[in-house]
Amino acid sequence: MKVLIRGGHLVDPKNDIDGRYDVLIDGPVIKEVSRNIRKVDGSTKVIDASKRIVAPGLIDVHSHLREPGFEYKETIRTGTMAAARGGFATVVCMANTNPVNDSRSVTEFIIDKARAEGICRVLPCGAVTKGLKSEELSEIGEMFEAGIVAISDDGRSVRSAGLLRKALEYAKLFKLPVISHCEDDALSGGYVHEGLASLLNGLEGIPAIAEELIVGRDIAVARYVDAPLHLTHISTAGSVEIIERAKRAFKKITCDTCPHYFTLTDESTLTYDTNAKVNPPLRSKEDVKAIKEGLRKGTIDIIATDHAPHESTSKDVEFDLATFGISGFETAFALSLGLFHEGVLDMKNLLAKMTANPARLLGLTSGVITEGAPADIIVFDPDMEWPVDRNSFASKGKNTPFHGMTLRGRNLFTMVDGKIVYNELG
């Protein structure tokens, strides 16, 4: 089937395109991109994108789909439905499932399940170490053959620098990026940012240095073995500073942050709202400022969601006992568009951090609107205002601190591999 997306304003960071273009899709690929596509046959579905922005489908390098093992929190079906709504054509799912994705069979399960039930493209991330236990390496090669696109022990750091070194070296065999969750156990163990919230609320704090120490450590190891390293969900001013300096000397460092780290501060935890409990924790005003500056200067390459859905009973408890995480797929893009509205990033730069840059990290052919590329396309209205209502989320995870807020900018249409998977345009 052919689809013509007509009349939209195309922003394609990779090709440096920012203007009025029509896009013709034939089957799973993009067939033509030009100023005015007139000749279409009667069977072509025409999408009117006038007054909207057309862009490559978003790519999320960090999410949790919870399957297998935690289907009461999310499934591949509900998670990818939420992702598609939010404008994501591709999501990377982390390995902290049950069983952990540390072997070929789990990777194959996820890929088969996603093929059967997934709404958007799912790319599994394998565990660095078996069982995420920081004891021995997972069977990285076998998982690579089965289809993983990166390795990470997300949820914790690889405890020993020696083991991390082996992982970085070994992953070179398959050109797999290693994604680091940066948190020093010995300094962590709290529930909110060590600062205003811990001081006023009496909650145990997680200091910024718990993150920064491991950012520094992991960069040093990666540089020593000359291996690519991606640091995920960066949240502090100190981390941005360390990464900025490191990048000057060593080019294989990339990093991402998440919308909540440039939107909210630890003030959100002052009411003991467990939906604002996330790891790393919401930081200080100064940190938020530094994260935005890092995004503006390009120190932070990518915006990821860290979509972490949870069942309500795990949040409806004392703050200390509540699970960490924010259900992020359905608010991430609107919150990121906030950076455009605030003037932190222009549209091309913002979209690069959610399309071309993650595609480069993962070695994907998508994230671009070019003839022959996979037809992953979104159409959105950067100005449309809408109220966040967690009860209308497609995700099973209703855990969002943004419930009730009005956000500006909304995805209206998502196409993955030429298939329309979400459409508010009619």
Partner 1 sequence: MNWKRKDLLGIRDLSKEEMLFILDTAESFKDISRREIKKVPTLRGKTVITLFYEPSTRTRTSFEIAAKRLSADTINISSSTSSSTKGESLKDTARNLQSMHPDAIVIRHGMPGAPHMLAGILDSSIINGGDGSHEHPTQALLDLFTIRDKKGRIDSLKTVIVGDIAHSRVARSNIFSLTNFGNEVICCGPPTMIPPHIETLGVRVEHDLKKAVRNADVIMMLRIQKERGGTTYIPSTKEYSTLYGLRKEHVEAAGDGVIIMHPGPMNRGIEISDEVADGPSSVILDQVENGVAIRMAILYLLIGGEA
Q: Would you please indicate which residues are annotated as catalytic (active-site) residues?
A: 306
Output 41 or 318, the one with its CB closest to partner 1: 318
317 interacts with partner 1 by CB under 8 A: yes
202 interacts with partner 1 by CB under 8 A: yes
Distance CA 390, CA 330 (A): 9
238 interacts with partner 1 by CB under 8 A: no
15 interacts with partner 1 by CB under 8 A: no
413 interacts with partner 1 by CB under 8 A: no
319 interacts with partner 1 by CB under 8 A: yes
Question: What is the contact mask toward partner 1 in residues 252 to 271, using x (rule: CB under 8 A)?
Answer: -------------------x
Q: How far is the CB of 410 from partner 1 (least distance, A)?
A: 31
Residues 6+ apart with CB under 8 A from 313: none
Q: Contacts with partner 1 in 88-147 (CB under 8 A)? A: none
Tell me whether the omega of the peptide bond preceding residue 281 falls within 30 degrees of 0, making it cis: no
Q: How far is the CB of 274 from partner 1 (least distance, A)?
A: 9
Output 1 or 200, the one with its CB closest to partner 1: 200
**Between the CA of residue 384 and those of 52, 319, 348, 408, what are the distances in Å?**
10, 34, 19, 6
321 interacts with partner 1 by CB under 8 A: yes
Q: Contacts with partner 1 in 204-223 (CB under 8 A)? A: 204-205, 207
Q: How far is the CB of 308 from partner 1 (least distance, A)?
A: 21
Q: How far is the CB of 191 from partner 1 (least distance, A)?
A: 9
Q: How far is the CB of 33 from partner 1 (least distance, A)?
A: 53
Q: How far is the CB of 207 from partner 1 (least distance, A)?
A: 8
CB 392 within 8 A of CB 96: no
Output 80 or 236, the one with its CB closest to partner 1: 236
CB 335 within 8 A of CB 263: yes
Q: Which listed residue (32, 136, 286, 320) binds partner 1 by CB under 8 A?
A: 320
Give me the DSSP letters along 73-126.
Answer: T--HHHHHHHHHHHTEEEEEE-S-SSS-S-SHHHHHHHHHHHHHH-SSEEEEEE
The residue length of the chain stands at 426
- Residue carrying the six token digits 């990033």: 345
State whether residue 171 is helix, strand or coil. Answer: helix
Q: Which listed residue (196, 302, 326, 361) binds partner 1 by CB under 8 A?
A: 196
Give me the DSSP letters along 235-297.
Answer: --HHHHHHHHHHHHH-TTEEEEE-HHHHH--GGGGTTT-GGG--SSPP--HHHHHHHHHHHHH
Distance CA 79, CA 393 (A): 10
Distance CA 105, CA 187 (A): 35
**Between the CA of residue 233 and those of 148, 194, 208, 254, what are the distances in Å?**
20, 17, 13, 11
41 interacts with partner 1 by CB under 8 A: no
Burial class of residue 384 in the structure, from the number of CB atoms within 10 Å of its CB (0-12 exposed, 13-18 middle, 19+ buried) = middle
Q: Which listed residue (19, 35, 116, 318) binds partner 1 by CB under 8 A?
A: 318
1 interacts with partner 1 by CB under 8 A: no
- Residue carrying the six token digits 């034939």: 26
Stretch near partner 1 under the rule CB under 8 A, chosen from 81-89, 158-166, 246-254, 316-324: 316-324
186 interacts with partner 1 by CB under 8 A: no
Stretch near partner 1 under the rule CB under 8 A, chosen from 174-182, 224-232, 314-322, 343-351: 314-322
Q: Which listed residue (102, 153, 184, 194) binds partner 1 by CB under 8 A?
A: 194
Output 310 or 410, the one with its CB closest to partner 1: 310
Output 284 or 395, the one with its CB closest to partner 1: 284
Q: Which residues bind partner 1 (CB under 8 A)?
A: 194-196, 198-205, 207, 271-272, 313, 316-321
